[in-house]
Chain A
C-alpha cells in the first residue's frame, strides 16, 4: 500500500513542500497552496485516512501570517498538511464535505482564530466553544488578543436545530446536570419517549487553556497539561511531555519511560473500574457501583502511597517522572493486583450472568461501525464499534514497543460493547503492569531539558484511557511556547454520542452517555 507520505510527495500537481522544521521525522508535514488544500485532503480521504484534527496558528510574532493545519491518520501513519494564510480576511477551503468531524474543528477555528472556512458547503458556522454572548470579532487565539482582556457580553442568539410536527417536544438539559459531573448542554427533540434528535452544545468549561500555555515556560506547561482533563492527567501530561521531548531532541531514561507506562495503565484501570460501576448504576444496579468504587478507591490509595498523589497529577514531568518508585513499590503493586484480580473477576462473572443488566445494556446506544469510521471515532468508543485503533500499537514508544498491549475490539457497538472493552482492557492493563514491573530498568528517572530551538514544531500521540490524545507544539522566535494545540479523544467522540442516541428512549440517555464518558474540560479547553 502506498504510504500517505508517498501519495503527497509523488503527486507533482499538488505542489506540496515538506517542512524541515517539524518533528518527529516519522510525522511528515507538508505545506500546500491554499487552492490545493482540499484536493490534497481528498487524496488523503481516498487513501482511507481519517481526519485527526484541524487547528489554526498565529505566526505574526515570527513575521508571518496565520496558518491552518490538518492532521490525518491511517494505521501506523500520521501526516500533517499546512496552509499559509494572510492576516487580513483569512479563509481556507473547508474539509467538511470530505470529513464529518471537520465541521466542529472548523467552527472552533472560526470562533477562536477568526479564520473562515469556505467552499462548497459549510452549512454550520455557529460559534463553537465561544458562546453567542461573546463579541463575534473576539478571537482569543490571535496574538493581538491580550489573554487578560475581559469581554463585554453582547446580545446573541444560538439557532438550534429544530424538529417540528404534532407531538414533538423539546427537553433542554444542562449546563448544570443532576449528578456530580461536568457542565454541558444537551437538547433533545422527542416524541413520546423516543429521541428524534440530540444536539450537544459544549464550551461551558472553556477556561482558555491553549492561550494560557502561551504565557508559561515549557516546564510549567506540563502542570497545565496535567489539568486539561483531571481524570486523564497522566495521559495529557505524558502526551505534552513526549511532544516537548521530541522538540528538544531528548530521550527520557528507560526507568522513567517504564514508570510513565505503569502510571498510564494504572490511570486506565482506575477510570475503567469507576466507569463499569457507573454504567451499571445508570441501569439501576447500585450493587455494582459500590463494589467497583471500592476497587477503584484501592487503586487510588496505592497511587497515593507509592507516587504521592491519588490521581497521579504532576508525576509526569518534562524529561521523565517527578517521583521514583520506592524500593518496596513493585511488591506493593504485585500484592495489590493479586488482591484486585480475583475480586474483579468475581464481579465480571456476576455482570456476565445478570440477565436484567444484559437486557438494558445490549442494543442500547449503538454506534454502527461505519458511522464510527465516518466521524473518526478513536479509543475505546472506536474499539467497541469494531475499529482496531490503539496508538500504543500503531505508534508505539518505549516501553510499548517491547511490551505490546493486546488490541480489544467488539462488534456489537452498544453500551455492552463499551463496557466489555473496558473489562478486557482492565485485564490487559494488569498484565502490562506485571510485565513492566518484572522488566523495570534501574537508573535515572529524569533527563535535563535543553533550551528549545526557535520556530520548530512537534507532535505526539498517546493512547490515554479514553483514546488517542494529540498534542502539537510550536516554538516562537526565542524558543518560547508560541502555540500548543490539543485534541482530546472526546473532541471527536462527542459526535459519536449524538449518532448513537438515535432510536433510543430518553430514560436511556444517561446510560448511553455514561458508556461514552467523554471529557467536557478536555474538549472545551
Chain B
C-alpha cells in the first residue's frame, strides 16, 4: 500500500506536465468544451462509443481520452456502457454490413435529443475500405450524423475539438 501511495504522490498530477504547445491547445479546447457542456448538458456529456467496423485505430485514441494526460472527465465528458444513458454517439467506421443492424439498434436505443459524431476517415467517408459488398462506407450512409472528426486516426486533441464543434 505504501508503495502505491508513494507512486501516486511521486507521479503527481501529470495533466500539468504536458509540453507547452499541446498543453495550451488542450486546455483551451477543454475549457471551451467544459463551458458548452455546462450550458447545454448540465455539466455532463455522456458518450457511447460504437465501433461499427473500424480497424481499432480510432478506438485506441478514444481510449487515450481517458488517460490521466487528457483526462476527459475533468471537462464533464464521460463514457457510458449503455446507449440508453447517452447524449452522444461516437461512431467509428466504415460501417460493415454485419454491423449495420446493431448500429441502427444502438441509435434507436439512444434517447432523444441525441447527437452523432462520426470518427476517423473511415467513419467520415469510408476511408481506404470504401463501399463494397461488406462495407457501407461512411456512418452517414446508415444513421444521421451531426459532425465528423476526420483523421487516421484523429489524435485525442482532434477528438476533443470535434466533440466541441458539435455541442458548441
Which A residues are closer than 8 A to B by beta carbons?
Answer: 131, 134, 138, 140, 145-151, 175-176, 178-183, 203-209, 211-212, 223-224, 227-231, 233, 274, 287, 290-291, 293-294, 296-297, 300-301, 304, 310-311, 313, 346-347, 349-350, 353-354, 519-521, 524
Provided the pairs A208-B133, A211-B134, A310-B61 are in contact, do residues A230 and B155 lie with their beta carbons within 8 angstroms? no
- Bound CA span A231–B59, Å: 9
B4 contacts across to A, CB distance below 8 A: 287, 350, 354
Q: CB of B67 within 8 A of chain A? A: yes
Give CA–CA (A162, B66) in the complex, Å. 39
9 contacts between A and B (CB under 8 A): A176-B83, A180-B79, A204-B98, A223-B128, A229-B56, A230-B54, A230-B60, A310-B155, A347-B7
Q: Are B53 and A212 in contact (CB under 8 A)?
A: no
The bracket for how many chain B residues form the interface is 35 or more
Minimum C-beta distance from B82 to chain A (A): 8
A-chain residues with CB within 8 Å of residue B19 when the two chains form the complex: 301
Please determine whether A180 and B62 come into contact, CB atoms closer than 8 angstroms: yes
In contact, A293 and B11 (Cβ under 8 angstroms): no
Which of chain B's residues 25-57 have a Cβ closer than 8 Å to chain A? Answer: 49-57
B132-143 contact mask (Cβ, 8 Å, vs A): 1 or 0 = 111100000000
Residues of chain B within 8 A (CB-CB) of A206 are 53, 96-98, 134
A205 engages B3 (CB within 8 Å): no
Bound CA–CA A223/B55 (angstroms): 12
Seen from chain B, the residues whose Cβ lies within 8 Å of a Cβ on chain A are 3-4, 7-8, 11, 14, 19, 49-64, 66-69, 79, 81-83, 94, 96-99, 102, 106, 127-135, 152-153, 155
Indicate if the CB atoms of B102 and A230 lie closer than 8 Å: no
How far, in Å, is A214 (CB) from chain B's closest CB?
11
B99 touches A287 (CB 8 A): no
Chain A residues in 8 Å Cβ range of B3: 346, 349-350, 353
Give the residue of B62, B67, B68, B99 whose beta carbon is less than 8 angstroms from that of A183: B99
* Residues of A close to B54: CB separation below 8 A: 182, 205, 230, 521
Q: How far is the CA of A275 from the CA of B50 in the complex (A)?
A: 21
A158–B102 Cα gap in the complex (Å)?
16
**CB-based contact B98/A293 at 8 Å:** no
A211, A230, A297: the one within 8 Å of B64 (CB): A297
